[in-house]
Structure 1
Amino acid sequence: MGNLSRARRVTAALGFIGLLFAVLGIIMIVMVPSIIKQQVLKNVRIDPNSLSFNMWKEIPVPFYLSVYFFNIVNPEGIIQGQKPQVQEHGPYVYREFRHKSNITFNNNDTVSFLEYRSYQFQPDKSRGQESDYIVMPNILVLSASMMMENRPGLLKLMMTLAFSTLGQRAFMNRTVGEIMWGYDDPLIHLINQYFPNSLPFKGKFGLFAELNNSDSGLFTVFTGVKNFSRIHLVDKWNGVSKVNYWHSDQCNMINGTSGQMWAPFMTPESSLEFYSPEACRSMKLVYKEQGVFGGIPTFRFVAPSTLFANGSVYPPNEGFCPCRESGIQNVSTCRQTGNIQPVVLPLMWFEESGAMEGETLETFYIQLVLMPKVLHYAQYVLLALGCVLLLIPIIYQIRSQGSKDAISQPCLATQPDQLPSPYTPLLQDSLRGQPTSPKV
């Protein structure tokens, strides 16, 4: 009896545990997707208490600027009318560091900030050194010449004499570092002295001099704390909700984010829209394909063919005119180029890239891939295990009932009419309580 009672208690306990597992599995199937979504929404908000705030404040993803220059092989021949011959040099790679400062939370669910950028040369990733010399058109001389195009002949002569006196030629031979970050040139001081405000700079001239150790303007974006539907979207840039550089309201609109983070749960139907201070306009990237990076599923978004198409090819871009050939964006209306006339001059090309790595990539993989996958399988494992454990008391009950039936079956076989005939009188008398003996 003790063994039977203990077996019943164990069976009941297993059934109860199975019921708990089954219920927990069902609850997880129903609730886990919603819980994960709520946690994601909570942690991507721009809030000092969110897990992603420090990542938003100082982006841990390493960004790299890769620059390629077109070195002119035949500068003297070009002056004599030959076709230019160029050799591509590079890449010259720079690590780009970004950090936000002057972070101010406003009462309308927005936050304002300045983002500073700095660049550090990476010799191990580059094909060349910053001390490499590049022959390229002398931008200052060409700019000054364009400024003199409609001036009186006397001024043109004076400028020609100034070029000769200062040793200025149509082409220059400068180091990569000078071309990138600036160099002193007496021509700059001469132009600024006799033609004030004609040049957009006063000191050193360099193609990227204005970008290093500078900010990209005052951004005000929505935090998503009170209204998640507008998270990371730009409210204002430098205090305005739209710019006035272009010739249509559509082109002047400030749309999308500041170009660093977007709302989660994007789909192939989504688009990535952001405002670029360098291009003075909003841009939109469109979905192309799915991929995997470091074990994390990704969506790839690219620039559509219409992004820099001119107005004749894509009428909505008429507002960005005066247009050039498709593929060229004229930013002279927003970059303080003064009286310099526009000219298409291929000097170099560059690309910016960034990818998660190290601890940041591992954290994203654990939180976005591994943990949801574990929870996904755990809920079905719990449900299946619960069902198995629930079957134990059912099977036990069926087997117990079968055992009782098996024990009662031999009692039926003791009926007198089923025994062998020689013993029948003895058994019948015994059943009546009367002693008797068999007759021989």
Structure 2
Amino acid sequence: MCGIIGGVSTLVVGSVLVVASSVISFVFVPNIIRNIIAGEVTLLDDTIQMERFKEVPFPMNFTVRVFNMTNPAQVLTGGVPVMQEIGPYVYRLYQTREILEKDGDVVVYKMHEHFEFDADLSYPYQEDDLVTIINVPFHAVIQVAESLFPYLMSLLQMAMDEVFKEFNTPITTIRVRDLLFDGITMCKNPTGLGIIACSIIRDIADNAQNIEEKPDGSLVFSILNYKQQLPSQEYRVQRGLNDPADLGRILSYAGSPFFPQWLNLTTREPNVCMEVNGTDAGIFAPFVETERSIYAINTDICRSVELRYERDSEYEGIPTVRFAANEWLLDNDDGCFCLNVTRGINRDDGCLLRGAMELYTCVGAFLIMSYPHFLFADVRYRDSVLGMHPNEENHKIFIELEPNTGTPIRGAKRAQFNIFSRPVRNIPVTQNLRTAIVPILWIEEAIDLPHEFVDELTERLLSSLQLVDIFIPVLIAACVMVLVVGVALTARARLYRK
């Protein structure tokens, strides 16, 4: 009798322990873990996370590769441009967020960026290297003038020497540093018709982020200097205090929940292309769900970028999930990214072909964004020049996140900037140019989490999670063993009694 009572007691205790351990393991423990992670990653005041949000504690690699034109004389007489990729030119990119306001769950800030050339990582390339490129400000000015002031093109043609001086040519040779930061000068002490022409060009430059007016009235074009000289517009972002899933979500940029550059001037109604959606790409919400896309905005191209789950991956022993943007990013199927103002190689309706995006309303010039080497682009773009070698692994956008904390572990934003070379009305030197989309350069903004931060992430959070992953099965197994012992004792007692 005592054996049966003991066996039943053990059986009951084992059953209770199994149920209790299961409830604790699969209900209470996950909630405790989520609360611990949320406390580590949300932007609470006076925390390490907030301090690192304000000043990113390590630089990113900002890499530039310039397209050198190897046959400029032939191009001027109608030849196909032959492009040679030169680089990498590697810069250490330092980012800080200037906090302007904190109001409950919302933080308002501006982003500041600073570039430092890394001679070691760039070797043997140097900023003083000379490259022969399509003359970007030359084509940008004459193409915008042709669109906005067609009746003044004859005047502009007569004033070209006064406007561009030694850069009055469709193709130019220039230092890499000048192209990126120091600039190409226009309208330096013009006389006669040049004064009138430069007045028109200053009107154009008012909306061009890459053209800066100097105190003496001259204009300087550069690709990247505006990023270093000026802070971003204001971000209004959630801190994740009320709901960790909202961490980093941008409520507005430049005072608006939309990018106005893509407003349809006919309907005047917001559209999907205008949505400010996602984060600033430096922070993501924890508890990543691979079934859902993640979003980040790219202010250089005035749009949100969607990244979809691609595969599980790993970085220095840390399990990660990889999201990427593929051919659909620049497929132009939404229609609202078609401005129908950039003339070159177009569809019948005036939009650009697949794999390219107009940037006129974003940068104030007829620049075109694509993936590097025209990855995923219509073959007509790739074939309009020679020397393109697209490769998915090296040229598409991706990011790898630690799925529990949402920490960016590894990733790269990549974009190529191009401009059409084509004949322009009343500009004789352009009349023999073949219509082609000519690449200028492509850039990569990359992150690889440094070793010390990998170790910290592993020690502070992931090791604890791994211990929990081990502890829960062991706990449940031990309780099951008690249950099994109870069953065995009860069965043995019954047999003994019979």
For structure 1, the 5+ residue unaligned runs are: 1-20, 393-440
Which string of whole-angstrom CA distances, capped at 9 and with x for unpartnered residues, describes residues 371-403 of structure 1?
2112332345566678999999xxxxxxxxxxx
Aligned match of 2:222: 206
> AA paired with 2:271?
D
Instruction: Return the match for 2:29 from 28, 32, 38.
Output: 32
Secondary structure in 2 matching 1:215: coil
Aligned match of 1:43: 40
1:138 aligns with 2:156: no
Secondary structure in 2 matching 1:266: coil
Aligned match of 2:121: 125
> AA paired with 2:469?
H
CA distance in 2, matches of 1:67, 1:372: 39
The change in CA–CA distance for 1:131 and 1:377 in structure 2 (over 3 A counts) is same
Question: Do the aligned partners of 1:179 and 1:207 also contact (CA within 8 Å) in 2?
Answer: yes
Aligned runs of 1:182-261 on 2, under 5 Å? 182-183=182-183, 185-187=185-187, 190=190, 192-193=198-199, 195-199=201-205, 200=208, 201-203=212-214, 204-246=220-262, 247=264, 248-261=270-283
1:360 aligns with 2:453: yes
> AA paired with 1:226?
N
Question: Do the aligned partners of 1:163 and 1:169 also contact (CA within 8 Å) in 2?
Answer: no
Secondary structure in 2 matching 1:135: strand
Aligned match of 2:426: none
The change in CA–CA distance for 1:168 and 1:47 in structure 2 (over 3 A counts) is same
1:104 aligns with 2:101: yes
Instruction: Return the match for 2:467 from 367, 370, 374.
Output: 374
For structure 2, the 5+ residue unaligned runs are: 1-16, 191-196, 215-219, 265-269, 341-350, 369-418, 421-436, 486-498
CA distance in 2, matches of 1:264, 1:148: 49
CA distance in 2, matches of 1:306, 1:389: 56
Which string of whole-angstrom CA distances, capped at 9 and with x for unpartnered residues, describes residues 224-282 of structure 1?
21244422211111211223221242221211222222211112202111222211112
Q: What TM-score results when the alignment is normalised by the length of structure 2?
A: 0.66
CA distance in 2, matches of 1:336, 1:168: 21
Aligned match of 1:170: 170
Aligned match of 2:289: 267
> AA paired with 1:202?
E
Question: Do the aligned partners of 2:337 and 2:358 also contact (CA within 8 Å) in 1?
Answer: no
Aligned runs of 1:151-162 on 2, under 5 Å? 151-152=151-152, 154-162=154-162
Shift, 1:161, TM fit: 4.5
Question: Do the aligned partners of 1:58 and 1:98 also contact (CA within 8 Å) in 2?
Answer: yes
Secondary structure in 2 matching 1:77: helix
> AA paired with 1:318?
C
Runs of 4+ in 1 over 4 A off after TM superposition: 21-28, 163-167, 188-191, 379-392
CA distance in 1, matches of 2:29, 2:367: 62
CA distance in 1, matches of 2:450, 2:367: 46
The change in CA–CA distance for 1:71 and 1:37 in structure 2 (over 3 A counts) is same
Aligned match of 2:401: none
Q: How many equivalent pairs are there?
A: 372
CA distance in 2, matches of 1:213, 1:163: 25
Moved more, 261-270 or 152-161: 152-161
Which string of whole-angstrom CA distances, capped at 9 and with x for unpartnered residues, describes residues 290-331 of structure 1?
001111111111113221112xxx2x2335432312211112
Secondary structure in 2 matching 1:232: coil
1:77 aligns with 2:99: no
> AA paired with 1:197?
D
CA distance in 2, matches of 1:153, 1:388: 89
Report which of the two structures shows the higher radius of gyration computed on alpha carbons: 1
Which string of whole-angstrom CA distances, capped at 9 and with x for unpartnered residues, describes residues 112-137 of structure 1?
01111111111222241111110112
Moved more, 42-51 or 323-332: 42-51
CA distance in 2, matches of 1:307, 1:209: 27
1:317 aligns with 2:308: no
> AA paired with 2:57?
P
RMSD of equivalent CA atoms: 3.5
CA distance in 2, matches of 1:339, 1:152: 22
**Which structure features the higher share of strand residues?**
2
CA distance in 2, matches of 1:319, 1:373: 45
Shift, 1:369, TM fit: 2.5
The change in CA–CA distance for 1:289 and 1:84 in structure 2 (over 3 A counts) is same
Instruction: Return the match for 1:333 from 361, 372, 382.
Output: 361
Shift, 1:286, TM fit: 0.5
CA distance in 2, matches of 1:61, 1:326: 37
CA distance in 2, matches of 1:327, 1:61: 33
The change in CA–CA distance for 1:28 and 1:359 in structure 2 (over 3 A counts) is farther
1:113 aligns with 2:109: yes
Which string of whole-angstrom CA distances, capped at 9 and with x for unpartnered residues, describes residues 31-55 of structure 1?
3322111111222211114452222
CA distance in 1, matches of 2:229, 2:152: 41
CA distance in 2, matches of 1:319, 1:102: 32
Question: Do the aligned partners of 1:181 and 1:206 also contact (CA within 8 Å) in 2?
Answer: yes
CA distance in 2, matches of 1:255, 1:40: 24
Question: Do the aligned partners of 1:61 and 1:355 also contact (CA within 8 Å) in 2?
Answer: no
Q: What TM-score results when the alignment is normalised by the length of structure 1?
A: 0.74
